[in-house]
Amino acid sequence: HVQLVESGGGSVQAGGSLRLSCVASEDAFEMDLIAWYRQAPRKEREGVAVVYTGGGSELYADSVRGRFTVSQDRFKKTVYLEMNSLKPEDTGVYYCASGSGPWLWSFYEPALWGQGTQVTVS
């Protein structure tokens, strides 16, 4: 059974930091990429950051570029999202998802989703 499990969410004051983790089971890391999404209250889900599991560049949404950093530990089959300078607008449920490439931003449809972890910034 292939799955992704997010953790690390919580409540933080504006300007603070959180580090999210996404642990992949079985062969999820064999997929081309792992992406972080978020869904804020009363807003549509949006892609936040993407990392290709084979290495290379990372991609970020304009709203988080310069504040968030995505990285991976291939031995632990874990992808991280380091979130700094958090704003109330960053509040939402954060999901990791995996799928084949290439990344197509709003047109991309992941093959596998995690359960989500809540991030609240006040």
- Kindly indicate the confidence band of residue 2, based on its pLDDT and cuts at 50, 70 and 90: confident
Residues whose CB falls within 8 Å of the CB of residue 76, separated by 6 or more in sequence, listed in order: 23
**pLDDT tens digits, 64-109:** 999 999 999 988 889 999 999 999 999 999 999 999 989 998 899 9
Closest of 20, 9, 5 to residue 98, by C-alpha:
5
Distance, CA of 77 to CA of 53 (rounded, Å): 9
CA distance 99 to 10: 26
